[in-house]
Structure 1
Amino acid sequence: MDSKYFIAFDLGATSGRTILGTLTGDKLTLEEVTRFPNQMLQLNGHFYWNIFSLYENLKKGLTAVAQKKVPVTSIGIDTWGVDFAFVNEEGALIGLPYAYRDPQTIGKKEEFFEKVMPADELYGKTGIQHMDFNSIFQLYTLKQRKDFGLTHASRLLFMPDALSYLLTGKMVTEYTIASTSQLLNPETRKLDEKLLEVLGVSKFLFADMVE
């Protein structure tokens, strides 16, 4: 019986894995091919993700699977939510992505509710629990700070989409990871344009939505 093979990169806040899935008939077996550490970098009072180290480990995982000489049907990348990277007009990443544990968003949620949009209205648009580190509050904070990355960005890519871009050169906004941002309207299945408007963020900062 023929088998189909799939690669999954499972990335968490402290470690990552390359998983090879083998589907034979109705039986799925999973093999951990590589495992590697992941940790936040603390620089000048902020926390970042070393996306370039993650990228190198993804390539090592692909190399390890290639040595097995099996035909791979697809590759998927799963990470934590909310965090994102900026890409400039030349297609280069702008610095390192902020990590969700960065303290810059502490208190910004309450400020947003007071000055921009009430909490119940925001929840009604997105259905997402209010958390300080949600992408919407990260962007609100970066906009206030006139952050270099946001100011010079041509694209915003959520973490799995940013890693996919580094591997393939294609920019997309994947629906399920976008849903963690508190920017997605589940009724329209699109980024909520009013939320982007009140943030002062262009909808063209985001790549096309895919599912």
Structure 2
Amino acid sequence: MTATALRVAAVDLGATSGRVIAAEVAPDRLHLHEVHRFANEPVRTSDGLHWNVLELHRQILTGLCHAHRAAGPPLAGLAVDSWAVDYGLLRQGRLLGNPYHYRDEARTGTGPALVHQLLPHDALFARNGLQYLPFNTLYQLAADPWTDLADRMLLIPDLLGHWLTGGPQLTERTNASTTGLLDVRTGAWDHELIARLGLPGSLFGDLVDPGTRIGALRPDLARPLGLPEIPVTTVGSHDTASAVVAVPMTEGGAAFLSCGTWGLVGTELAEPVLTDAARAANFTNEGGVDGRVRFLTNVMGLWLLSESIRWWQRDGSSVSLSGLLAQAAHVPLPVTVFDVQDPRFLAPGDLPTRIAQWYEEHGLPAPPDRPTLVRAIVESLAHTFAEAVDRTEHLSGERLTRIHVVGGGALNRLLCQRLADHAGRPVLAGPVEATALGNVLIQARTAGTLTGTLENLRTLVARTHAPATFTPQPDGSR
């Protein structure tokens, strides 16, 4: 191990699970070791679907204990990233209630109408550059009866960072860009919009950029657990912002697909795209690290597979996704694709039946068995991702010659190959742990262990985590 090696912990919270990863970083080394994984299961109460944020806090501390006890240099840093849009409301530092889950249908059903009575989507897009999703933060806040009682709104990673440090109630900018309440041109809170929506201005605290030291692990948390007072840093706290940092695109002309529960398809730009065509196509301009713009669209991702598997396993039977994918690879083509963006697929539950109903409603035969259904999901996702890449190229004006797939989708070889076939472009798959890598890279640059631009950081990723390449097959049925 070189003298310049740094050891940090990355807390990566996804919509279904969370992880604490210990990383060792040097200018010639980037090594990750998962030390703790835990379920992130929502809780349904009489008033809706909530995140169990107290359990997340407890699991983070457990993971830090594992990271501290693992072999290697002392932990010199910690940062948290998570999914976007969801938040906690505080009053005098106390959480008013468990944060709602973005899949809570009661809230997403009322918020958009309340906002669009005041400001239509085209006027909103001109201000915030954000795509329409019914669970965007501004819609949730518009339908939240507790905003008048609160004095601060914190997005999930900021809330957890505040609990870990006891420091100021700050908001990291890349995640704030997903709220719909930032001015897309300045990156500052749009206080005129906030006032127009009737939201208290005091809810929105100071914005900080990735790479900001916000404090250290509170002594009253650290000492009972035998932990040091670990410095805490902001990174791209929206998990996609961190993932894009670690996409090994060292030159232009690349599209990315961050493929997990959701599929986020886009490219990195210097300036937002605010055209009517971009708005009509439901593209978004989200803040990236170092002031970059993540021009992308959200499409359904691996949720369709994971929730189908979960449903099939509900009676205790053993159902293997890897086994079904192996069988699905032998299902003959063509397979009729379905609309993965249909809202019926958003809520948890019996997705296999809902998919079959979609086919029946469109006068098409439903997949007759599980392997065929899995193949239909893969084909439909690949088709949708490929269309999204084409639209990204058209709307951005950038020629996109290759697609980088990061996240869990990079492990799905059938999906990667079929994406290459549908898109007519090579697919470079990996790293799988892009979000954690991006988290770690920004921590290391903040500490001075690494230096340079995002391209310099990505060159290190390309050297240490070389992607697998899938080329379009001439006989691939599109």
CA distance in 2, matches of 1:44, 1:107: 18
Picking from 78, 88, 105, the partner of 1:75 is 78
Deviations 1:167-199 (A, max 9, x none): 111211100111111111121111111210111
Residue 95 of structure 2: SS of its match in structure 1?
A: coil
CA distance in 1, matches of 2:108, 2:195: 20
Aligned pairs for 1:75-154 (under 5 A) are 75-89=78-92, 91-103=93-105, 104-113=107-116, 115-142=117-144, 147=145, 149-154=146-151
| 1:12–1:80 contact (8 Å) kept in structure 2 | yes
Q: Structure 1 residues 167, 136: CA separation in 2 closer, same or farther (over 3 Å shift)? A: same
Deviations 1:83-115 (A, max 9, x none): 0001111x11111001101112215324422x1
The runs of 5 or more residues in structure 2 that have no matched partner are: 210-478
Computing the radius of gyration from Cα coordinates, the structure with the larger value is 2
| 2:6–2:76 contact (8 Å) kept in structure 1 | yes
Picking from 180, 183, 201, the partner of 1:182 is 180
1:74: Cα distance to partner? 2.0
Residue 17 of structure 1: SS of its match in structure 2?
A: strand
CA distance in 2, matches of 1:150, 1:199: 12
Picking from 37, 48, 51, the partner of 2:50 is 48
Deviations 1:1-60 (A, max 9, x none): 121012111101110000111113321011101000001111114110110000000000
Deviations 1:95-151 (A, max 9, x none): 1001101112215324422x1001111001111111110000001111xxxx2x322
CA distance in 1, matches of 2:208, 2:114: 32
CA distance in 2, matches of 1:77, 1:155: 19
Name the counterpart of 2:343: none
CA distance in 2, matches of 1:206, 1:157: 8
| 1:14–1:38 contact (8 Å) kept in structure 2 | yes
| 2:9–2:21 contact (8 Å) kept in structure 1 | yes
Matched, 1:209 2:218: no
| 1:136–1:183 contact (8 Å) kept in structure 2 | yes
Q: Please report the TM-score for the alignment, with normalisation by the length of structure 1.
A: 0.92
Name the counterpart of 2:198: 200
**Count of aligned pairs:** 204
Q: Which has the higher strand share?
A: 1
Q: Which amino acid aligns with 2:154?
A: L
Deviations 1:66-91 (A, max 9, x none): 113632232111110000001111x1
CA distance in 2, matches of 1:95, 1:45: 11
1:203: Cα distance to partner? 2.3
CA distance in 2, matches of 1:65, 1:162: 22
| 1:135–1:181 contact (8 Å) kept in structure 2 | yes
Structure with more contact order per residue of length (Cα contacts < 8 Å, sep ≥ 6): 1
Deviates more, 1:187-196 or 1:48-57: 187-196
CA distance in 2, matches of 1:196, 1:96: 23
Name the counterpart of 2:163: 166
Q: Please report the TM-score for the alignment, with normalisation by the length of structure 2.
A: 0.42
CA distance in 2, matches of 1:74, 1:186: 31
CA distance in 2, matches of 1:132, 1:38: 22
**C-alpha root-mean-square deviation of aligned residues, in Å?**
1.3
